[in-house]
């Protein structure tokens, strides 16, 4: 039964990773940008929610809704000021630009909030502490279910958006061939900016979950980035449903590893990641796809 | 009435000068063929008119408005549509999504009317564009350009890589589109076909216009020598 429990907890953990990875996957899928500041953007979102909670005493979930427009505007600005310019300069430049952005965000957060560890768990009410004992050795936490349901809603809504709406087709068309998209009347700059805004908003959702389910500090971003990146790669770069499955697989691998020995948690996730790399890309000579 | 005017256009790729001081006009309702050998600058010229290539100097004037600095998607809404070389469809989108993503909303062309002109697409409507044959893809590419209800349709080598019988079908559909009054500027390698479909022919050589005239008034030898640069203009 404890094995089943480990898998169930892994799915809850994996749903959290999937939310974190979602924005990373969008930005890679649409613009071929690997956003190294993604984890720090998530943490920034957590801090914005934290400030609102501290200032008003509202629930972190409400605070997130208030923070959402801020994050969307930040995403737009990020795309139009930094990423758009760096994209023109080749495939390496966005990587360097977002790496720099990561350092900037971390240090601004350190400056403003000190290195103290914080959490929103205490402000989120009963959802963080409630759980149901299904059988002996298998319990389901309310927060786990909330995160899983939200993750499914986010991925489901994105799927509907991309497959059913004109704006979604425009995003897919731009992702496949930005030059040709311009020639059929699609404003590719606008699509890119919307994609980044969407990615940043979902990253902030990941940050909110991080803040509620555990603790965060100004330097929490890179760890979140690694897990998110592993989820994206395990699921197949640029595939949305793959990212959800990749997140779940990573979560289950980590809890199963921890089930064997608590020290193996992160390690077993990394091992799954490496195994997927070796299997999918044929041996150890990993060649990443080059940009068009 | 002049619909399109290129003024002293100069296009470069780094140090390579692909188009050198090209000026010409296209009148409303006209069909003009742009011919010339590989590397003559035809594709670059079309891309500069559509806004996909930023010219080094010169102007593109469409419907008496200077559009030189407008991005490609803004020129589409003004009425310029390019069917790019190599078709450039969105392979994972279905045929219908490829068409509808380019729709301008109002006008003669919509999904049903495009499918009417290209009936071969009807059964392929919900298939991913990447899984179509070359001829079907070309039909989608032309249909997609029509969806924006263009006043000027730019066609870049629509017969490239297609079987002759498919090319005939594509040109039959084009003849229908042209007869409805759409202004067309097309690049074509097949000289006979270009002379047959176009009212006027512009021949380019090494980035310059070397011959220009009514298709009916040009004799074949004249065109061939301009095409290959046998008798260079002084």
B163-178 average pLDDT score: 89
B116-127 average pLDDT score: 94
Cα angle, residue A89 at apex, residues A83 and A90 outer, rounded to 5°? 100
Kindly state the helix (H) or strand (E) to which residue B2 belongs, with its residue range: strand B2-13
Please tell me which residue of chain A has the smallest CA distance to B76: A185
The CB density around residue A33, as the number of other CB atoms within 10 Å, is: 27
Name, in order, each residue with C-beta under 8 angstroms of B174's C-beta and a sequence gap of 6 or more.
B142, B155, B158, B184, B197
The CB density around residue A116, as the number of other CB atoms within 10 Å, is: 8
Give whichever of A228-232, A233-237, B100-104, B176-180 has the largest mean pLDDT.
Answer: A228-232
pLDDT at A68 (0 to 100): 96
A188 touches chain B (CB under 8 A): yes
Given B82, B93, B97, which is nearest A183 (Cβ)? B82
Interface test with A, best of B49, B70, B72 (most A CBs within 10 A): B72
Residues of chain B neighbouring A187 (CB-CB closer than 8 A): 71, 73
- d(C-alpha B30, C-alpha A282), whole Å: 56
pLDDT tens sequence across B35-90: 998 889 999 999 999 999 999 999 999 999 999 999 999 999 999 999 999 999 99
- d(C-alpha B36, C-alpha B209), whole Å: 9
A270 touches chain B (CB under 8 A): no
- d(C-alpha A60, C-alpha A57), whole Å: 9
Q: Is the dihedral of CA A55, A58, A63, A69 positive or negative?
A: negative
What ipTM did this prediction achieve? 0.91
Q: Which of residues 155-184 of A touch B (CB under 8 A)?
A: 166, 169-170, 172-173, 176-177, 179-184
Residues of chain A neighbouring B82 (CB-CB closer than 8 A): 183
Which residues of B touch chain A, with CB atoms under 8 Å apart? 50-52, 71-73, 76-77, 81-82, 84, 88-93, 97-98, 100-102, 104, 144-145, 147-148
Residue B64 has phi, psi (to 5 degrees) of 60, 15
pLDDT at A292 (0 to 100): 43
- Cβ atoms A20, A203 nearer than 8 A: yes
pLDDT band at B220 (very low <50, low <70, confident <90, very high): confident
pLDDT at A285 (0 to 100): 54
- d(C-alpha A86, C-alpha A92), whole Å: 9
Mean pLDDT of chain B: 92
Query: How far does Cα B15 stand from its chain's mean position?
Result: 26
Residues of chain B neighbouring A183 (CB-CB closer than 8 A): 50, 52, 72-73, 76, 81-82, 84, 88
Q: Which of residues 3-42 of A touch B (CB under 8 A)?
A: none
Query: How far does Cα A55 stand from its chain's mean position?
Result: 26
pLDDT at B233 (0 to 100): 52
Q: Residue A94: name the closest of A30, A13, A8 by CA.
A: A30
Token pair of A236, please? 């197949």
Q: Residue A186: name the closest of A164, A168, A203 by CA.
A: A168
Residuewise pLDDT in 10s, chain A (292 residues): 688 999 999 999 999 999 999 999 999 999 999 999 999 999 999 999 999 999 999 999 999 999 999 999 999 999 999 999 999 998 899 999 999 999 999 999 999 999 999 999 988 888 888 888 888 888 899 999 999 999 999 999 999 999 999 999 999 999 999 999 999 999 999 999 999 999 999 999 999 999 999 999 999 999 999 999 999 999 988 789 999 999 999 999 999 999 999 999 999 999 999 999 888 876 555 455 554 4
Name, in order, each residue with C-beta under 8 angstroms of B112's C-beta and a sequence gap of 6 or more.
none
Name, in order, each residue with C-beta under 8 angstroms of A49's C-beta and a sequence gap of 6 or more.
A60, A63, A64, A67, A120, A204, A207, A208, A211
Residues of chain A neighbouring B73 (CB-CB closer than 8 A): 181-188
B101-110 average pLDDT score: 88
pLDDT at A110 (0 to 100): 97
pLDDT at B193 (0 to 100): 87
Token pair of A18, please? 């999937």
Q: Note whether A183 contacts B89, CB cutoff 8 Å.
A: no
Q: Is the dihedral of CA B224, B225, B226, B227 positive or negative?
A: positive
The CB density around residue A165, as the number of other CB atoms within 10 Å, is: 11
For residue A118, the SS3 value is strand
Residues of chain A neighbouring B97 (CB-CB closer than 8 A): 169, 172
Kindly state the helix (H) or strand (E) to which residue B23 belongs, with its residue range: strand B16-27
Given B71, B101, B104, which is nearest A173 (Cβ)? B101
């Amino acid at each position: 039964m404890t094995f089943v429990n480990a898998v169930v907890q892994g799915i809850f953990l994996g749903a959290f990773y999937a939310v974190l990875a979602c924005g990373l996957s969008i930005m890679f899928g649409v613009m071929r940008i690997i956003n190294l500041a993604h984890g720090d953007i998530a943490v920034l979102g957590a801090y914005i929610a934290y400030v609102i909670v501290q200032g008003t005493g509202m629930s972190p979930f409400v605070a997130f809704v208030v923070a959402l427009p801020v994050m969307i505007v930040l995403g737009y600005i990020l795309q139009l000021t930094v990423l758009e310019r760096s994209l023109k300069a080749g495939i390496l430049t966005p990587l360097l630009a977002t790496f720099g952005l990561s350092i900037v965000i971390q240090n601004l957060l350190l400056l403003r909030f000190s290195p103290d560890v914080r959490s929103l768990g205490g402000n989120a009410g009963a959802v963080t502490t409630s759980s149901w004992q299904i059988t002996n050795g298998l319990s389901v936490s309310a927060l786990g279910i909330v995160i899983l349901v939200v993750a499914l809603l986010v991925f489901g809504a994105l799927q509907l958006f991309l497959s059913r709406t004109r704006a979604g087709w425009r995003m897919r068309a731009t992702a496949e061939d930005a030059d040709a998209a311009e020639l059929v009347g699609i404003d590719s700059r606008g699509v890119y900016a919307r994609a980044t805004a969407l990615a940043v908003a979902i990253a902030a959702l990941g940050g909110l979950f991080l803040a509620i389910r555990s603790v965060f500090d100004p330097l929490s971003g890179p760890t979140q980035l690694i897990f998110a990146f592993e989820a994206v790669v395990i699921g197949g770069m640029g595939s949305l449903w793959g990212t959800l499955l990749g997140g779940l697989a990573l979560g289950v691998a980590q809890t199963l590893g921890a089930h064997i020995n608590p020290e193996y948690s992160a390690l077993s996730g990394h091992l799954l990641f490496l195994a997927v790399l070796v299997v999918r890309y044929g041996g150890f000579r990993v060649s990443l796809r080059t940009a068009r | 009435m002049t619909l399109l005017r290129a003024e002293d256009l100069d296009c470069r790729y780094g140090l390579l000068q692909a188009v050198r001081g090209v000026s010409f006009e296209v009148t409303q309702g006209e069909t003009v063929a742009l011919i010339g050998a590989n590397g003559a600058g035809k594709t670059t010229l079309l891309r500069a008119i559509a806004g996909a290539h930023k010219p080094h100097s010169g102007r593109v004037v469409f419907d008496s408005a200077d559009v030189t600095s407008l991005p490609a998607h803004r020129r589409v809404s003004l009425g310029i549509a390019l069917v790019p070389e190599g078709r450039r469809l969105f392979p994972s989108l279905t045929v219908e999504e490829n068409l509808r993503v380019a729709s301008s909303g109002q006008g003669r062309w919509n999904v049903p009317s495009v499918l009417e002109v290209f009936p071969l697409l009807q059964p392929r409507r919900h298939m991913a564009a990447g899984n179509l044959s070359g001829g079907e893809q070309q039909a989608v590419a032309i249909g997609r350009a029509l969806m924006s209800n263009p006043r000027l349709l730019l066609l870049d080598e629509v017969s490239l890589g297609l079987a002759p019988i498919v090319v005939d079908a594509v040109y039959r559909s084009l003849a229908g589109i042209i007869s409805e009054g759409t202004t067309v500027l097309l690049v074509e390698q097949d000289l006979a076909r270009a002379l047959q479909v176009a009212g006027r022919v512009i021949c380019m050589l090494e980035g310059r216009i070397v011959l220009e005239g009514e298709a009916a008034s040009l004799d074949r030898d004249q065109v061939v020598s301009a095409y290959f640069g046998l008798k260079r203009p002084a």
